[in-house]
Structure 1
């Protein structure tokens, strides 16, 4: 073999090796694809996703599906092959990793944030749904969680309503933090609490804050929440996080609390964050969620108004896109479609 031929052969082998290596090297992208769907009117593991106690409920039919997006996990990265596969699949979006996972957050922090957003979303959905059907829901300061091995353990519980601190009526979570902050470690704090509708007075001796030994520490995480007149429990039963299921939770609660059958027995899907006043907010991955709903058999998809432009670019043959800016918009549109499948409702036009 001549030197020239040997050189060319070696070069070709090295080139192939480099291409193969590049093909396998992780790149800073993640893939978003259609994720699991759940019928919020249905059951998970034998339990209703939406459980309402202390209030009359009504039978429901049809489906109100929440939709999700499956994303490459934070501890994994796509390789070139995965990126190319995502680019050629219309139901998959390949986006920069930092778009989904901020570089200053660990995977555990991302998971915790998603869990907290889901919890907050559920509380807002319950408040919005109750207010939609005419139930008064006053704001209140709630205990989100009790810190392990803290002075509050055994004295306070998650979902307790914090009515007053040392006789001062509480109006916000920050006010509770400020009132506790006026004390020193070893001081006693008097808390007026409402638990399951019953008043309760609790006295707690403060400890030392793990972050500052000179600061008083009780061990509760207060949040600006609601004093619900009757309990509503959301049991999703699987690892779904984030706030985007809020609108579908709220619709399921409305459907159970009213005599009208919102779905008319049809298969409805949707997405959207929800505020306590009923405002529906935008979410990520709208095209993937529409694709997932379509695969799941939904005939109508409720789209947050601010997502309409992106939603109109999704393959929508066989599924109707309905634009909603508020929970009331969604209820009104479903009521109209229940009475007349050809009713004119606001849509996301291409």
Structure 2
């Protein structure tokens, strides 16, 4: 074999090895793509997407679709060819992995965080919808978390609503904190709580704070929770996480709890976070969610006003309706259902 032949053979071998490395070695990027949409007025796997008991519900028509994005899973990796293909595909975006997943965060941690965000989003959406429908909601201090080795471990649970401490009514988290601090280290404290809608009492013996030994503590974090009569359940895919469906959750619940039809046969999709006070917040992945809405035949797309700047193109046949709060979203849908007022609904400018 001549020297030139050896050189050519080695060069070819090196090229094959280099190509294999490029094709197989993961790169630090992930992709976003249009995900599944769910009709919240319909069914998911033969169950109502949202079911309500303990209150009068009314018939609805049309669809209210929450939108999602399909994102590279935290435990998955992309190769350079996959990233390049995604970069040139329509309705996809390539992002640095660190822009979505914190370095060192495990897949379990990510999924847990996303699940917590979804649960919080559903709670806020329910409260906002009930308030909009003039159904009473009572704010109460709520156990947000319990320290594993704290005094209340195994006695109080996250989600417990606290109505009184040692027989004295409490209204805010600071009321609970003050009531505990007014006791002595080693003193028994009785909490009147509501757990899973059942009133009960639980006694906790205070312990000394690890930072200030003279301060009693029970080892819980307190936040605001809510008490109301209706029971609202969700059947959305448990693998879907995050908080961006809050707006659509609220609208679907409100539509079921009020007379008249909010969407009147239309296919309405949308996205946006929702606070318990009815304020809509911005989200990510607007372009991908718009593409998903268009694919599933939506003609109206609701989005947070703040996200209008993120819209670079609108699929044919979709009308953008930006909103700031639940009240405005309800009013916009009511106007769209009235041919005489539909033209007056503002879009992104």
TM-score band, normalised by shorter chain? 0.7 to 0.9
SS at match of 1:301: strand
Cα 1:147–1:166 shift into 2, 3 Å? same
Equivalence for 1:318: 317
Equivalence for 1:56: 56
User: Where in structure 2 are the equivalents of 1:170-249 lying within 5 Å?
Assistant: 170-173=170-173, 176=176, 187-195=187-195, 199-205=199-205, 222-249=222-249
State how far apart, in whole Å, the 2-side matches of 1:183 and 1:125 are.
Answer: 37
Question: Which is worse superposed, 265-274 or 102-111?
Answer: 102-111
Cα 1:185–1:78 shift into 2, 3 Å? farther
How far 1:337 sits from its partner (Å)? 1.0
User: Where in structure 2 are the equivalents of 1:67-216 lying within 5 Å?
Assistant: 67-143=67-143, 156=156, 159-167=159-167, 169-173=169-173, 176=176, 187-195=187-195, 199-205=199-205
Equivalence for 1:343: 343
How far 1:5 sits from its partner (Å)? 4.2
Corresponding pairs, count? 346
How far 1:327 sits from its partner (Å)? 1.0
**Unpaired segments of 5 or more residues in structure 1?**
none
Q: Is the 2:55–2:229 contact (alpha carbons within 8 Å) kept by the matching residues of 1?
A: no
Output one character per residue of 1:299-343: Cα deviation in whole Å (capped at 9) or x when no partner.
1111111111212x1451122211111111211111111112853
Output one character per residue of 1:244-286: Cα deviation in whole Å (capped at 9) or x when no partner.
0100000011101111201111111101001112111111111
Question: Which is worse superposed, 14-23 or 92-101?
Answer: 14-23
Cα 1:337–1:164 shift into 2, 3 Å? same
Q: Is the 1:45–1:237 contact (alpha carbons within 8 Å) kept by the matching residues of 2?
A: no
Cα 1:191–1:266 shift into 2, 3 Å? same
Question: Which is worse superposed, 335-344 or 192-201?
Answer: 192-201
TM-score, normalised with respect to structure 2: 0.87
User: Where in structure 2 are the equivalents of 1:239-278 lying within 5 Å?
Assistant: 239-278=239-278
Question: Which is worse superposed, 229-238 or 323-332?
Answer: 229-238
Equivalence for 1:306: 306
Cα 1:35–1:206 shift into 2, 3 Å? farther
Cα 1:345–1:127 shift into 2, 3 Å? same
Cα 1:184–1:23 shift into 2, 3 Å? farther
TM-score, normalised with respect to structure 1: 0.86
How far 1:204 sits from its partner (Å)? 3.4
Cα 1:294–1:181 shift into 2, 3 Å? farther
Output one character per residue of 1:227-246: Cα deviation in whole Å (capped at 9) or x when no partner.
22433233324311110010
Across the aligned residues of Structure 1 and Structure 2, the Cα RMSD in angstroms comes to 3.0
Q: Is the 1:290–1:314 contact (alpha carbons within 8 Å) kept by the matching residues of 2?
A: no
State how far apart, in whole Å, the 1-side matches of 2:19 and 2:280 are.
Answer: 47
SS at match of 2:315: coil
State how far apart, in whole Å, the 2-side matches of 1:177 and 1:239 are.
Answer: 36
SS at match of 1:21: helix
State how far apart, in whole Å, the 2-side matches of 1:102 and 1:197 are.
Answer: 37
**Unpaired segments of 5 or more residues in structure 2?**
none
Q: Is the 1:133–1:258 contact (alpha carbons within 8 Å) kept by the matching residues of 2?
A: yes
Cα 1:138–1:240 shift into 2, 3 Å? same
State how far apart, in whole Å, the 1-side matches of 2:45 and 2:110 are.
Answer: 26
Q: Is the 2:142–2:160 contact (alpha carbons within 8 Å) kept by the matching residues of 1?
A: yes
State how far apart, in whole Å, the 2-side matches of 1:184 and 1:82 are.
Answer: 62
Equivalence for 1:23: 23
How far 1:52 sits from its partner (Å)? 2.2
Q: Is the 2:159–2:225 contact (alpha carbons within 8 Å) kept by the matching residues of 1?
A: no
Equivalence for 1:331: 330
Cα 1:196–1:304 shift into 2, 3 Å? same
